[in-house]
Structure 1
Amino acid sequence: DAYERLYLDSGFTATDDAHIAILAGGTVGGGTTVNWMTSIPIPDRVRAEWEEQHGVTGIASPRFKQDLNEVLREVGAQPSEKIPPKDAALIRGAEGRDWGAEKIQMNRAECGDCGTCPFGCKRGSKQSTLRLHLPQALESGAHLIPDCKAERLIISNGTVRGAVTTCGTRAGAPRTLEIIAPQVVVSGGALRTPLLLRRSGLTHPAIGQNLRLHPVTLAAGIFPEKIEMWRGTMQAAKSEEFIEPMEDRNGYIIESAPGHPGLLSLGIPWTSRDEHQRLMKLAPYIAPFLAIAKDDGGGRVSETRSGFAKIEYRTTPRDERTLRAALGSLVRMAEAAGASEVIAAGSPPVSWRRRDGVEAFQVLQRRLTRFDFSPNRGTVFSAHQMGTARMGSDPVDHACDPFGRVRSSSRPRATDPHGGIVKGLYVADGSLFPTALGVNPMITILALAKRVARTILKDA
């Protein structure tokens, strides 16, 4: 029930070739309502890249660093006092390989470590937009209209005038509501923001382009002791040992991967009924690890005739090298943590059992250097979508200016009173990212919202 109500397309979204399964929030509060609370700011290296290569003025400045720190403080980001067994295994495996590992900061207060974060927070401990920012807005006079779809923006003479919406879409008998406003902020996420901009008649060629997905690869260790991945803090530990890019690959970050037994049953690559049953019986002893890759691969989002998002995305050879390296790291980590069996997710999966010995493990590692990440072979997920209305200084390559103002086209007419900018229209979500981050994006999105808010006040 939570997946149907809280996630985009009831939690079953994927790229058009079914290669990458996608999870995205689709409720009040967006991704902050359902995410795993991992709070990591944008790396300084990526901030420099955005400013130097994309002209995002001030993003590498102390002022934006202050925004990031303010967000971390506002959401109460702090490491967990309790380390669940799956995260203890990650730390143990990293230390066994002489890799760095540390606790993850999470946006929470008085958390009960109940493990239900992906289904909303039943205790109200998660310091999400739903808990923090929307109540503040309501206290200041804002109105919140849930179960409401933004159909199109009202734009005339290069100025936004409001929006046309359809409300009550889940309850039946929907009605049209026209909202008049001198300033409009679009925050539909990278899979919906570009569709709204297109439906509103904006023709900038970068709208819907440059999709980044942070492709995720997975491996799991089966341990002698109980792990129960579904209990406790969702993600309490990470390793940034491989976060820096290399000549032949991008960087990636390693984190623990929680999972509900029902999700595990769907995520286990199918080989046979007996093998699936065996692994489900071992579920309490499984500790999954994931790696989030900073991707180069481009994609685009468009709207189908039935109103759904068509997500086209292809990994590049460099992305696939990154995923292979990441999968190899996950397997080595699980082995060093003491797993009796290690499984690299794929179709078919690749596995090793400790009783097979060291030589067999070396064979596994060599196989992973050739692992097939072509569509429907390598298992790839995405929980972070970015870049489909990216910001920057180039009016041709960037759909928004460096401060979130939306460009109507790449070549404005000489008579355009606003130089190609739609007056009063802004984007404030992950769509703005010029590139992928390589880390969980929530803190960066919230900090960008502060930056866009200052721009709105300045323009008012």
Structure 2
Amino acid sequence: MIKDIIAEGLAAGWQHIDGAEQQQDKSLECDVLIVGSGAGGGITAQVLTQAGLKVLIVEEGPLKSSQDFKMQERQAYPDLYQESAARKTKDKAIGIFQGRCVGGSTTVNWTTSLRTPEHTLSHWQQRWGFTHINPVSLAPYFQQAEQMLGIQPWLTRNQNNSLLAKGCDALGWSYQAIPRNVKQCWDLGYCGMGCPTNAKQSMLVTTIPAALNAGASLLSRFRVQQLTIENDQVVGAQLIALTKNQRTTKRVFTVKAKHVVLAAGAIGSPAILLRSKVPDPYQRVGKRTFLHPSVMSGALFEHVVASHQGAPQSVYSDHFVWQNGSEGACGYKLEVPPVHPILLATKTTGFGQFHSEMMQQINHLQVTIALLRDGFHNDSVGGQVQLRDDGSPVLDYSISDYLWQGARRALLSMAELQFAAGAKKVYPLHEQSQLVSSWAEAKKLIKQLPMQALATRLASAHVMGGCAMGGDEQNSVVDEAGNYRWLSGLSVIDGSVFPTSLGANPQLSIYAMALRNAELLAKSLRR
């Protein structure tokens, strides 16, 4: 029988308050209020509680456990994702997958754990004035995170990943095994719906329990409406309790804190700052928010692929990421996604009989994705977090010609790779696309497809930036320790501090940065 870590912890006396069960307003006090329980918030919570500080973690989503994860998309998406996994950019052109539950996106991601590329760190030093953060200074924190979370290369491949490797071998392209944050993984393939075996070493089963065991308190289903600011110092926050279906209630919790850490993600953290009307003399909050906009290509094979089974991601290729240097033509990373019915149905273009026929061939379908590297070029400036009239955030993300050129090259590369791997037919995901039977036919089709928003199918599970870190106060929101430049008592420790996208899946980069900056914060607060 699988051990239910959450149920056992609650029975043992963990301090947990569920917003959906509250009947009256309350006031709370703590040393540190951490907003968000994902990669940044979870790591920070463990470091600060083990340093002897009284920590309060607040999470907008629910607290779930392994017994709640039924490997059903229809249940997982509304329970565990922002906007039921239907979050999109302002123009609806890019789908955005983000977790909204205790553990954040670490609870629902596909476990890929890659270090920040040295090209990226070098660019940050040269362009964004980093002086303390570099490959050497981060190496101990990468090693610590990898040891904590069981991160090591996963050498077992399902067919979906094997075909990516096969195509690379045939074309002479480089590829590598993906390190995953798992222990005793059952290789089920349903990581995106929460791990029912606790094999995934997410914050839900590692750092959050460690923090709660050390005396931290957890508030789930609470939204931070705004920070409380007095005399240029953040002294707490106002929280609104949410119902089980995430609607706001009239219950308000007031938290008084000596320090606040924003770890609500690259859309959530800027949104809180904007709602709080924080001082922002250079208008940088919410700007330069980045995705890895991803184009997709489907391929039909004679043999069964069963892309829903096995580790979702175990092979990647960086062959095209840095081919033109960090500031040259847009690079892209090649990976594969798991192929589950609802995920496929909502991302596949076409309709009617064509769409039905594609869905019926799901077990013979291999899908490759190309993650576009945004933020390194002058024509590649990302998006902007804005607030709707009700205060909820939306990401305005226009796609430049620079990115569209990268998208076309990526579609060409994926089609070439899939035919090299033995595909019988390939289908670039685009509203004006069609099934093609040869690389020559695919090349002709893709070169004619208009690269336009809402025509080219785009998605991203990686959101970065919006509270950029850097050495220049005119171009950054926080310093290299994560301290907000214009208020005391406030830090940002999550993926929103990255000044560009990474060119790699961000999970491990956030872990390492959080370990570093939470350690610095603990020393500062103890003084």
TM-score (norm 1): 0.92
Contact 1:185 1:427 in 2 (8 A): yes
Could you tell me which amino acid in structure 2 is paired with residue 136 of structure 1?
A: A
What corresponds to 2:130 in structure 1?
A: 56
**Does 2:314 correspond to 1:233?**
no
- The counterpart of 2:455, out of the listed 358, 367, 377, is 377
Residue 81 of structure 1: how far off its partner (Å): 4.0
* Mapped partners of 1:307, 1:180: distance in 2: 22
Q: Secondary structure at the match of 1:291?
A: strand
Q: Secondary structure at the match of 1:118?
A: helix
* Mapped partners of 1:174, 1:127: distance in 2: 36
5 Å-filtered alignment, 1:76-91, equals: 76-91=150-165
Contact 1:297 1:315 in 2 (8 A): no
Residue 16 of structure 1: how far off its partner (Å): 1.3
* Mapped partners of 2:175, 2:458: distance in 1: 24
What corresponds to 1:314 in structure 2?
A: 398
5 Å-filtered alignment, 1:282-431, equals: 282-295=361-374, 296-354=380-438, 361-408=439-486, 422-431=487-496
Structure 1 residues 86 and 257: alpha-carbon distance in aligned structure 2, compared to 1, 3 A threshold: same
5 Å-filtered alignment, 1:50-449, equals: 50-170=124-244, 173-204=249-280, 205-246=283-324, 249-270=329-350, 272-295=351-374, 296-354=380-438, 361-408=439-486, 422-449=487-514
Q: Secondary structure at the match of 1:175?
A: strand
Q: Secondary structure at the match of 1:113?
A: coil
Unaligned runs of 5+ in 1: 355-360, 409-421
**1:438-458 CA distance string (max 9 Å, x none):** 110000011111122122123
What corresponds to 1:415 in structure 2?
A: none
When the two chains are superposed, the root-mean-square deviation of aligned CA atoms in Å is 1.6
Residue 363 of structure 1: how far off its partner (Å): 4.1
Contact 1:221 1:334 in 2 (8 A): yes
Contact 1:389 1:431 in 2 (8 A): yes
Contact 1:297 1:314 in 2 (8 A): no
Could you tell me which amino acid in structure 1 is paired with residue 504 of structure 2?
A: V
Could you tell me which amino acid in structure 2 is paired with residue 447 of structure 1?
A: A
TM-score (norm 2): 0.81
* Mapped partners of 2:318, 2:406: distance in 1: 14
Q: Secondary structure at the match of 2:514?
A: helix
Q: Segments of 4+ in structure 1 off by > 3 A?
A: 171-174
Unaligned runs of 5+ in 2: 1-74, 375-379
**1:263-286 CA distance string (max 9 Å, x none):** 21222101x412112111111100
Contact 1:58 1:64 in 2 (8 A): no
Residue identity over aligned pairs, in percent, reads 30
Contact 2:433 2:449 in 1 (8 A): no
Structure 1 residues 35 and 251: alpha-carbon distance in aligned structure 2, compared to 1, 3 A threshold: same
* Mapped partners of 1:213, 1:369: distance in 2: 24
Q: Secondary structure at the match of 1:4?
A: helix
* Mapped partners of 2:243, 2:466: distance in 1: 26
What corresponds to 1:3 in structure 2?
A: 77
